[in-house]
Structure 1
Amino acid sequence: MNGPLVMAAAFVFAMAIGVPIPFAAGLATVAGLLIADIPLTLMAQAAWTAFEPFPLVTIPLFILAGQLMEQGGMSEKLVTIAKRLVGAYKGGMGLVTVVACMFFAALSGSGPATTAAIGSITIPAMQKEGYRSRFAGAIAASAGALGSMIPPSNLLIIFALVTDVSIPRLFLAGILPGLILGLMLMVVVFVISWKNGYGGTEERFRWGPLLWALWDGKWAVFAPILILGGIYAGIFTPSEAAAVAVAYGLFVGLFVYKGLTWVKLLHAFKFTAIVIGTVLFILGSTKAFGQLVTIFDIPSDILTLFQGLIAYPWLIMLFIGIFYILVGMWLESIPQIIIFTAVFFPLVTSLGIDPVVFGIFTVMTCEIGFLTPPIGVNLFVAARISKISIEDISVGVLPLLIPYILMILILVFFSDWVTWLPNLVYGPQLR
Structure 2
Amino acid sequence: MTPVKGSPITASAIPTAILAAMTIGVALAFATGVNGPILMAVVFVFTMAIGVPIPFAAGIATVAGLYLADVPMTLMAQAAWTAFEPFPLVTIPLFILAGQLMEQGGMSEKLVNIAQKLVGAYKGGLGLVTVVACMFFAALSGSGPATTAAIGSITIPAMQEEGYRSRFAGAIAAAAGALGSMIPPSNLLIIFALVTDVSIPRLFLAGIVPGIVLGLMLMIVVFIISVKNGYGGTGEKFRWGPLLTAFWDGKWAVMAPVIILGGIYAGIFTPSEAAGVAVAYGLFVGMFIYRGLTWAKLFHAFKFTAIVIGSVLFILGSTKAFGQLVTLFDIPDAVLGLFQGLVEYPWLVMLLIGVFYILVGMWLESIPQIIIFTAVFFPLITSLGIDPVVFGIFTVMTCEIGFLTPPIGVNLFVAARISKITIEEISVGVLPLLIPYMLMILLLVFFSDWVTFLPDMVYGPQLR
- Shorter chain as denominator, the TM-score bin is over 0.9
After TM superposition, give the deviation of residue 4 of structure 1 in Å: 1.7
Where has structure 1 moved over 3 Å in runs of 4 or more? Answer: none
Alignment correspondent of 2:336: 303
What residue number does 2:443 align with?
410
**What corresponds to 1:125 in structure 2?**
158
**Aligned equivalent of 2:400, options 339, 362, 367:** 367
Deviation at 1:17, TM superposition (A): 2.1
Distance 2:39 2:428 in 1: 37
CA shift, 1:115, in A, is 0.3
Tell me the CA shift for residue 156 of structure 1. 0.2
Corresponding residue for 1:314?
A: 347
The alignment status of 1:63 with 2:96, answered yes or no, reads yes
Tell me whether 1:213 sits opposite 2:246 in the alignment.
Answer: yes
- Calculate percent identity across the aligned residue pairs: 87
User: Hey, what does 2:167 align to over in structure 1?
Assistant: 134
**In the alignment, structure 1 residue 50 sits paired with structure 2 residue 69:** no
Provide, for residues 24-67 of structure 1, a one-character-per-residue CA deviation record: whole Å limited to 9, x for no partner: 11111111111111110010000000000000000000000000
* Aligned residue type for 1:95: L
Describe the superposition over 1:253-279 as per-residue Cα deviations: whole angstroms up to 9, x where unpaired.
Answer: 000000000000000000000000000
The match for 1:20 among 35, 53, 77 is: 53
Looking at structure 2, the residues matched to 429 and 16 of structure 1 have their Cα atoms a distance apart, in angstroms, of: 41
Read off the aligned partner of 2:225 and give its amino acid letter: I
Q: Secondary structure at the match of 2:363?
A: coil
1:33 paired to 2:87 = no
Mapped to 2, the partners of 1:204 and 1:13 lie a distance apart of 57
Distance in 2 (CA, whole Å) between partners of 1:309 and 1:395 is 35
Indicate the residue corresponding to 2:256 in structure 1. Answer: 223
Q: CA RMSD in A?
A: 0.6
Partner of 1:77: 110
Residue number in structure 1 paired with 2:322: 289
Asked whether 1:259 is paired with 2:285, we answer no
**Counterparts of residues 392-403 of structure 1 (less than 5 Å):** 392-403=425-436
> Residue in 2 aligned with 1:325?
358
CA distance in 1, matches of 2:424, 2:347: 34
Q: Report the counterpart of residue 346 of structure 1 in structure 2.
A: 379
Deviation track 1:160-210 (CA, whole Å, cap 9, x = no partner) reads 000000000000000000000000000000000000000001000000000
- Provide structure 1 residue ranges, at least 5 long, that are not aligned to the other structure: none
SS in 1 for 2:451: helix
Shift of 1:296: 1.1
**C-alpha separation between the residues in 2 aligned to 1:77 and 1:369?**
29
Distance 1:97 1:16 in 2: 34
Amino acid in structure 2 at the alignment position of 1:164: D
1:103 aligns with 2:160: no
- Output aligned runs, 1:193-208, within 5 Å: 193-208=226-241
Match of 1:271 among 297, 304, 312: 304
Q: Secondary structure at the match of 1:98?
A: helix
Alpha-carbon separation, structure 2, partners of 1:16 and 1:376: 15
SS at match of 2:452: helix
Distance in 2 (alpha carbons) for counterparts of 1:13 and 1:96: 42
2-structure distance, mates of 1:369, 1:86: 28
Unaligned runs of 5+ in 2: 1-33
- Letter aligned with residue 348 of structure 1: I
Q: Deviations over 1:326-361 (max 9, x none)?
A: 000000000000000000000011000000000000
CA drift of 1:16 comes to 2.5
